[in-house]
Amino acid sequence: MTRIIALDWGEKRIGVAFSEGILASPHSVIKRKGKVKDYEQIVKLTIETEAELLVIGLPASLNPEQPIGPQAKRVLKHYQALEKMLDIPVKLSNESYSTVDATHFLQQSGRKTKVPIDAAAAAVILQAFLDGRNK
């Protein structure tokens, strides 16, 4: 089984999810403290979890005239930096509506949960990636 970490990159927080190949689970949230510290935490997480792949959610633009919006451009810069830093492959996955989907899932679960929305959104991104890969 492949150990995979996924990131939902936000302006203040980075949601983290983990999988050993079939199901994605929310893992944690990284509070943003600047590129260097953020990258250090991500590298540390990949080592601690023995991750073999990192997936980063890329926000797709709904504007056909501007397919890559400002947030996607920022995520691409982080992707490129981490790709150079890590000894594991780094992939991008569409994250459109991941936070909305995670919110609906948590609300419909009918139970109180302490899962941070950022980590749940990362799990949605990772599960979509896994589902697409396993088809």
Domains assigned to the chain: 1-68+90-116 (3.30.420.60)
- Residue 64 to residue 91: CA distance in whole angstroms: 23
> pTM (2 decimals)?
0.84
Q: What is the pLDDT of residue 113?
A: 59
Report residue 7's pLDDT band, with 50, 70 and 90 as the boundaries.
very high
Per-residue model confidence as pLDDT tens digits over 79-112: 999 999 999 999 998 776 555 555 555 556 555 5
Q: Using alpha carbons, list the distances in angstroms from residue 47 to 18, 29, 36, 42, 71.
A: 13, 16, 17, 9, 27
pLDDT above 90 coverage of the chain, percent: 57
Highest mean pLDDT among 15-19, 59-63, 98-102: 15-19
Residue 15's pLDDT is 95
Beta carbons of 16 and 29 less than 8 angstroms apart: yes
pLDDT tens-digit series, residues 69-79: 788 889 999 99
